[in-house]
Amino acid sequence: MLEVQDITMRFGGLTAVGGASLKVVPGRIVGLIGPNGAGKTTLFAIIAGFLTPTAGRVVLEGTDITGRPAHERAKLGIARTFQIVQPFAGLNVRENIAVGAYLRHAGAAEAHARAEAVARRLGLGGDLDKPASSLTVAGRKRLELARALATEPRLLLLDEVLAGLNPSEIRDIVPVIRAIRDEGITILMIEHVMQAVMNLCDEVYVLAQGEMIAEGTPREVCVDPKVIEAYLGRGAAERLKAEGARP
Ligand X SMILES: Nc1ncnc2c1ncn2[C@@H]1O[C@H](COP(=O)(O)OP(=O)(O)OP(=O)(O)O)[C@@H](O)[C@H]1O
How near is the Cβ of 53 to ligand X at its closest, in Å? 12
How near is the Cβ of 33 to ligand X at its closest, in Å? 9
How near is the Cβ of 190 to ligand X at its closest, in Å? 7
Q: Which is nearer to ligand X, 12 or 247 (CB)?
A: 12
The backbone torsions φ and ψ at residue 104, rounded to the nearest 5 degrees and listed phi first, read: -120, -5
Contact footprint for ligand X (CB under 6 A): 11, 14, 16, 34, 36-42
Strand partners, 33: 206
Q: What's the CA gap between 99 and 125, in Å, rounded? A: 17
Q: Which is nearer to ligand X, 38 or 230 (CB)?
A: 38
User: With left for phi above 0 and alpha for psi between -120 and 50, is residue 19 left, alpha or beta?
Assistant: left
Q: Which is nearer to ligand X, 116 or 159 (CB)?
A: 159
Question: How distant, in Å, are the alpha carbons of 142, 151, 158, 244 from that of 123?
Answer: 8, 18, 18, 44
Q: Which is nearer to ligand X, 47 or 187 (CB)?
A: 47
How near is the Cβ of 31 to ligand X at its closest, in Å? 13
Q: What's the CA gap between 97 and 82, in Å, rounded? A: 14
Q: Which is nearer to ligand X, 18 or 139 (CB)?
A: 18
How near is the Cβ of 42 to ligand X at its closest, in Å? 3
Question: How distant, in Å, are the alpha carbons of 26, 76, 198 from that of 191?
Answer: 19, 24, 11
Our separate counts of H helices and E strands in the chain read 10, 10
